[in-house]
Amino acid sequence: WGLTADLQQPDFETRVAIIQSKMEADGINMADELVQYVAHSVDTNIRELEGVLISLMAHASLNKEEINLELAKQVLKNIVQEIHTEVSMDYIQKTVAAHYSVSLENLKSKSRKRELVNARQIAMYFAKKYTNHSLK
């Protein structure tokens, strides 16, 4: 028994609303341009978004400066780089094949050998999770 919930990434408008709500709750006024920049830069999940906002507020507070676009770019530079590391299908296939010590040709084959099936399923999982493709 239990409740199944489909949690998806928030869309742009939702991220903007979350940022505005959090900033308003903390008594911080942020320009619309800045809110949109942060919402566009962090599109993974709410936890990452809140982490960026906390980092922005901490940097502004410690350096005694206002939250502006330049500060946001500086704070987001490292964070967004980690979040948006793009993975290609080729990279996934080569990495999985190397890890399981199988050839790329065997990984792509129709063979049902256990070691190939396991490697193929792992590659399919990563493809679905980290790309917009599936392994075919």
Q: Has residue 19 got a pLDDT over 90?
A: yes
Quick one: average pLDDT of 19-46? 90
The rounded distance, in Å, linking the Cα atoms of 91 and 9 is 24
Domain ranges of the chain: 12-83, 89-130
Q: Which fold has domain 12-83?
A: Helicase, Ruva Protein; domain 3 (1.10.8)
> Is the pTM for the entire model greater than 0.85?
no
Q: Has residue 1 got a pLDDT over 70?
A: no
Q: What's residue 81's pLDDT?
A: 59
Q: What's residue 134's pLDDT?
A: 62
- 30-34, 44-48, 83-87, 105-109: least confidently modelled range: 83-87
Structure-model confidence comparison of residues 55 and 132, the more confident one: 55
Per-residue pLDDT reduced to its tens digit, 72-119: 888 888 776 555 556 788 888 999 999 999 999 999 999 999 989 999
75, 78, 83 from 130: Cα distances, Å: 24, 20, 11
- In the chain the beta strands, taken as DSSP E runs, fall at none
Q: Is 97:107 a contact under the CB 8 Å cutoff?
A: yes
Percent of the chain with pLDDT over 90: 36
